[in-house]
Chains A and B, each alone.
Chain A
């Protein structure tokens, strides 16, 4: 099945999301301003392309994920209840293509015993929990302030920390002293969640270049969202456009990353690279 199917699936879900957000006068409805005049044409052609296609398990599961993502926008807005965002962030790691990519980045990363590892903006620190169970070491969870100030998210982090006996430390990305202290100290840095994608590619690249030690591994799961469908849909979650995979690889090589391996799923890219 063509990898482009997911963009058509996302377009159809996005149209329903647009109508719901408009009805609710949700502030994010204005994100659709620039494309709403194109909606009829986009939806017609997406529906046409999907007409005779049966969705495989991977795309069906991504469809479930995107539909639920749309539901969380309205639920969080209407009730101020952040539980759907937690659940969405957790099933991110369980829907087939993302689960496969996540397992791939962990398997491909070369880690020493007792590594010092970090994740960015992960309210579900599953990557750190898994590595901690296998190799011990120290896990640094880096956050933007709005995430770590949320009581529910802190409880989820406490639950992961306790149930996986993690040796974790939580730091603010805005704390320059703490970030400087971590300079060239990490064996592994993972970036791959809806909240992490908000940082955008230039910031992720800059943090990876600063924080990883020599031979340290960068592991990424990023959206391939230049194409409409995922482009506007992810904007609803404040995720900016990411460069095409080829450009990401070029940028990494320019920043002295080597041993770059990639794997693609529908709409998403997994990448592992080592700092030279």
Chain B
């Protein structure tokens, strides 16, 4: 990246090793924060045996850091995670997938069953390959995979469950055309284990009392009660490993509550 594109250099102290790390804030990072459901963009800096992720808001202000241990040092190649056969059980459209993230230094692969078609798509740091058990039009697959790639390029979770859940909801989404906030649904699920749900007052109380029509007609009342009555919980814990259709609707419900200010979604 040319220096001309750097807005400013931000020095961030790594909480694990104490190193002061210069991170270059670029217009792309600001754009990513603007497009992100929580208004944040993360910048990853792998060093030693860990990765520092610093979050910036849409004004370029630092909004916290996280540290992840790398599962395997970069010089030893990507850390491989092979999912079990049961992880994609019950899917109607997808027969397998592989995600390779150079940023997180991992490759996650599922067990693949009978395949009729496959598609591979690559970005700056991420490669996504998906195998399908049914035929779809190339346009539809391309549309969805471009959204998915964009989401995974900007995700920072290395929890296998987050990847499994992401592909489980992709399995459902493939049956409809991409919609306006699909990227946000993916992003929430793909980062589920790094995001905490925090109900807000007085909205959560008013919400329970007045039960807005759309939310209670279109999403599960039991799921909504579960998330707004608990003080805080991780998105991945709230979503669990329900069947893909339920998982998808519940992820939409979380975003719906977030858009109404009934809860905050906090990266921690």
Binds A, one of B82-90, B112-120, B209-217, B221-229: B209-217
- Please state if B213 and A86 are interface contacts (CB–CB under 8 Å): no
- Please state if A83 and B261 are interface contacts (CB–CB under 8 Å): yes
The complex places the Cα of A20 from the Cα of B259 at a distance, in Å, of 25
Q: Which DSSP category, helix, strand, loop or mixed, fits chain B's interface?
A: helix
- Please state if B261 and A81 are interface contacts (CB–CB under 8 Å): yes
- Please state if B259 and A68 are interface contacts (CB–CB under 8 Å): no
Quick check: is A162 within 8 A (CB to CB) of the other chain?
A: yes
Quick check: is B48 within 8 A (CB to CB) of the other chain?
A: no
- Please state if A160 and B261 are interface contacts (CB–CB under 8 Å): no
Given A87-B206, A91-B206, A126-B213, is A158 in contact with B259 using a C-beta cutoff of 8 Å?
no
Binds B, one of A149-157, A183-191, A240-248: A149-157
- Please state if B261 and A155 are interface contacts (CB–CB under 8 Å): no
The complex places the Cα of A160 from the Cα of B260 at a distance, in Å, of 13
A-B contact number at CB 8 A: 60
> Which B residues lie within 8 Å of A64 (CB)?
206, 209-210
The complex places the Cα of A95 from the Cα of B211 at a distance, in Å, of 10
- Please state if B210 and A95 are interface contacts (CB–CB under 8 Å): yes
Quick check: is B138 within 8 A (CB to CB) of the other chain?
A: no
Quick check: is A71 within 8 A (CB to CB) of the other chain?
A: yes
Quick check: is A90 within 8 A (CB to CB) of the other chain?
A: yes
Quick check: is B218 within 8 A (CB to CB) of the other chain?
A: yes
The complex places the Cα of A71 from the Cα of B213 at a distance, in Å, of 22
The complex places the Cα of A68 from the Cα of B256 at a distance, in Å, of 19
- Please state if A155 and B181 are interface contacts (CB–CB under 8 Å): yes
- Please state if B203 and A84 are interface contacts (CB–CB under 8 Å): yes
- Choose among B184, B209, B210 the residue with the greatest number of A CB atoms under 10 Å from its CB: B210
**Interface size classification for chain B:** 20 to 34
Quick check: is A159 within 8 A (CB to CB) of the other chain?
A: yes
Given A68-B206, A91-B206, A126-B214, is A158 in contact with B261 using a C-beta cutoff of 8 Å?
no
- Contact pattern, B 176-215, Cβ under 8 Å of A = 1, otherwise 0: 0001110010000000000000000011001101111110
Given A91-B206, A154-B180, is A159 in contact with B256 using a C-beta cutoff of 8 Å?
yes
Quick check: is B262 within 8 A (CB to CB) of the other chain?
A: yes
The complex places the Cα of A23 from the Cα of B61 at a distance, in Å, of 27
> Which B residues lie within 8 Å of A143 (CB)?
none
The complex places the Cα of A158 from the Cα of B180 at a distance, in Å, of 7
Min Cβ gap B197→A in Å is 15
Quick check: is A7 within 8 A (CB to CB) of the other chain?
A: no
Which residues of A in the span 46-100 have a Cβ within 8 Å of any Cβ on B? Answer: 61, 64, 68, 71, 81, 83-84, 86-87, 90-91, 93-95
> Which B residues lie within 8 Å of A91 (CB)?
206, 210, 212
- Please state if B180 and A87 are interface contacts (CB–CB under 8 Å): no
Q: Which DSSP category, helix, strand, loop or mixed, fits chain A's interface?
A: helix
Among residues of B, the one whose C-beta sits closest to the C-beta of A75 is B261
The complex places the Cα of A154 from the Cα of B179 at a distance, in Å, of 12
- Please state if A90 and B212 are interface contacts (CB–CB under 8 Å): yes
Which residues of B in the span 232-268 have a Cβ within 8 Å of any Cβ on A? Answer: 256, 258-262
Quick check: is A25 within 8 A (CB to CB) of the other chain?
A: no
- Contact pattern, A 148-184, Cβ under 8 Å of B = 1, otherwise 0: 0000101110111011100000000000000000000
Quick check: is A101 within 8 A (CB to CB) of the other chain?
A: no
Size of A's binding interface in residues, CB under 8 A: 26
- Please state if B202 and A68 are interface contacts (CB–CB under 8 Å): yes
- Please state if B256 and A71 are interface contacts (CB–CB under 8 Å): no
Given A87-B260, A158-B180, A159-B181, is A93 in contact with B213 using a C-beta cutoff of 8 Å?
yes
> Which B residues lie within 8 Å of A154 (CB)?
180
Given A87-B203, A91-B206, A154-B180, is A159 in contact with B259 using a C-beta cutoff of 8 Å?
yes
- Please state if A94 and B259 are interface contacts (CB–CB under 8 Å): no
The complex places the Cα of A65 from the Cα of B42 at a distance, in Å, of 38
Quick check: is A129 within 8 A (CB to CB) of the other chain?
A: yes
The complex places the Cα of A158 from the Cα of B207 at a distance, in Å, of 21
Given A68-B206, A87-B206, A93-B213, is A158 in contact with B179 using a C-beta cutoff of 8 Å?
yes
- Choose among A84, A95, A163 the residue with the greatest number of B CB atoms under 10 Å from its CB: A163
Given A64-B209, A87-B261, A152-B259, is A163 in contact with B214 using a C-beta cutoff of 8 Å?
yes
The complex places the Cα of A90 from the Cα of B181 at a distance, in Å, of 19
Min Cβ gap A108→B in Å is 19
> Which B residues lie within 8 Å of A163 (CB)?
214, 218
Given A158-B180, A159-B181, is A71 in contact with B261 using a C-beta cutoff of 8 Å?
no
Min Cβ gap A117→B in Å is 18
A-B pairs with beta carbons under 8 Å apart, 18 shown: A64-B206, A64-B209, A71-B202, A84-B203, A86-B259, A86-B260, A86-B261, A87-B206, A90-B260, A126-B213, A152-B259, A155-B180, A155-B184, A156-B259, A158-B180, A158-B181, A160-B214, A164-B214
Query: B-side interface residues toward A, CB under 8 Å?
Result: 179-181, 184, 202-203, 206-207, 209-214, 218, 256, 258-262
Given contacts A86-B260, A94-B211, 11 further A-B contacts (CB under 8 A): A64-B206, A64-B209, A83-B259, A84-B203, A87-B207, A90-B212, A93-B212, A126-B214, A158-B179, A160-B214, A163-B218
